[in-house]
Structure 1
Amino acid sequence: MVSSDSGTALASSAIQSNGDRARRGRLAGNVAIVTGGTRGLGLAMAGAFLQEGASVICAARREAPLAELRAAHGDRVSVTTVDVCSADSVRSLMDAAMRRFGRVDILVSNAGVSRNGKIVDLGEREWREVLDTNLTGAFHCTKYVVPCMEAAGGGRIINISAGMSTRVAPGAAAYSASKAALEMFTRASAVELAKKGILVNCIAPGFVNTGMYEPLRDDERLRSRYERMMVSGRPGEPSEVAAAAVFLASAEGSYVNGHVLEVNGGLLWS
């Protein structure tokens, strides 16, 4: 039983700790890797992590200057090339992170591609590209980040799915299948890695004003069709998805594990 005085002291300590964290940033001292981190949602999440005090490696297939982030955050941000389809490339990414920062606390598996096409028209090459990037890429990243996180005493893995993981659309068989599988991979990883102090969750964005939504946004006919599905009356902003990622990566998400968080403002489908 905790005495009144002890309870007051504990509450005061917690308030002070939360205040210190707010001043430093909720992710101060953490090191994050964001794949697909040089544009779109990945860049937004990387920026949000940096704002919260983390050091961030933006990993992508191609180098990008990221001049604005580097000007604002200096040595806390770096860019590394990676092909998540290649186990060797992902191992090299983790080695580079450990050499640069000495630890990895957060991984966001965000790298993804979409190759739309009805099943009878979809080529095997396109099918494999989508599955290899969206699903096998997350497998590689999870597998090879685990030793880094174990050395740090635990960590957070956030996989990026999509609203179409649970909604059927003609021509999206490869993309939807890859994201549905990613969500089950998230749950299986959460069960297997919990005892290592690693929490694994997933974010499933709806229509977001960047990346793959841009072709819809620029096509009036398609835009009007999909806008009818948006309960909130608008697409989301990258910052809104990034805020969810910060929550899952921070102390506030410490009892969330194996969860798929839909960030879509309410999304109808027919």
Structure 2
Amino acid sequence: MRLDGRVAVVTGGTKGLGRRIVEAFASEGCKVVAAGRDKSAGADLVESGGDVIVHEADVRDPESVDELMRAAAEYFGHLDIVVANAGVSRPGPAAQLAPADFADTMATNLGGVFHCTRSAVPYLERSEHGGRIVNLSSALATRVAPGASAYAATKAAVEMFTRVTAVELAPKGITVNALCPGLIDEGMTRSIKDNERVWALYAPKLAMGRLGSPDEVTAAALFLAGAESSYVNGHVLEVNGGLNW
């Protein structure tokens, strides 16, 4: 029960890696609010047992995020951990990318992290366990992938936002770190191995010869959210098996 007594909010928590993080936190004694745009998508999370509730929220909307954090703190009594995981990808060459798609990627991936941080601080600074913010980055934050300009730009920005806010919030007893998955057999990259042409391009980049498992990512999330990482701050933790890219 590494997170016993703690309360967490996980955005994008009804599917993909976010859902896996919710399940991992709950298994370690954490009370979790799984947030997503479609509340019905996480109905079975509540039915599976444990202290998990699902809250509909849009991280692009600061008022929606304010309500999310307030609801979590009121329902469970306090708030200790925020995992800013919600994200979208709108692939395409930059010169051909629709402005609306670029704007939506920025608003969700970067704006969502900003809104979560801003809204959560008043609650996290009162945490008896030490507040934790874990922002989701990506291997594409530091690697060139043609067609991923919008997504990659947001993740690079998330990493610098993480480093700056880590320094700003340290005096309040809040740590801020980024979790940076490589190619994981879940969520956005799960389909890679099922496409022979695409897999042929990416397989040689995987030093361990395989995609990472969701459990390998959630183990890192548990570390960053728990007591073991109390002196880890402003760090980008890559979970990629030695990505040769």
Distance 1:147 1:93 in 2: 13
Q: Could you tell me how far apart the structure 2 residues matched to 1:65 and 1:179 are?
A: 25
Residue 134 of structure 1 corresponds to 109
SS of residue matched to 1:201: strand
Of 118, 124, 128, which residue of structure 2 is paired with 1:149? 124
Question: What is the percent sequence identity of the aligned residues?
Answer: 52
Pick one of 95, 100, 104 that aligns with 1:125.
100
Q: Is structure 2 residue 142 aligned with structure 1 residue 166? A: yes
1:152-207 CA distance string (max 9 Å, x none): 24300000000000000111110110000000000001000000000000011000
Matched to 1:56, the amino acid is: V
Deviations 1:94-127 (A, max 9, x none): 1111220111100000000000111110111011
Q: In terms of Rg, which structure is larger?
A: 1
TM-score normalized with structure 2 length: 0.97
Residue number in structure 2 paired with 1:111: 86
Letter of the 1:151 partner, please give it. Answer: R
Query: Unaligned regions of 5+ residues in structure 1, if any?
Result: 1-24
**1:50/1:73 contact within 8 Å kept:** no
Residues matched between the structures, number? 244
Q: Does 1:96 align with 2:71?
A: yes
Which residue, out of 169, 172, 180, partners 1:196? 172
Q: Structure 1: which 4+ aligned runs deviate by more than 6 Å?
A: none
Q: Which of 19, 27, 30 is the matching residue for 1:54?
A: 30
Question: What does 1:1-270 correspond to in 2, within 5 Å?
Answer: 25-64=1-40, 66=42, 69-74=45-50, 76-153=51-128, 154-269=130-245
SS of 2:49's partner is: helix
Q: Which runs of 5+ in 2 are unaligned?
A: none
Structure 1 CA distance for aligned equivalents of residues 184 and 3 of structure 2: 24
Secondary structure, aligned partner of 2:70? helix
| Distance (Å, rounded) in 2 between the aligned partners of 1:65 and 1:36 | 11
Deviation of residue 151 (structure 1)?
A: 2.4
Query: TM-score, normalised to structure 1's length?
Result: 0.88
Letter matched to residue 137 of structure 1: G
CA–CA distance in structure 2, aligned partners of residues 221 and 111 of structure 1: 28
Letter in 2 for 1:166: T
C-alpha RMSD of matched pairs (Å): 1.2
What is the rounded CA distance, in whole Å, between the counterparts of 1:183 and 1:65 in structure 2? Answer: 29
> d(CA) in 1 for partners of 2:6 and 2:27?
12
What is the identity, as a one-letter code, of the residue corresponding to 2:80?
Answer: D
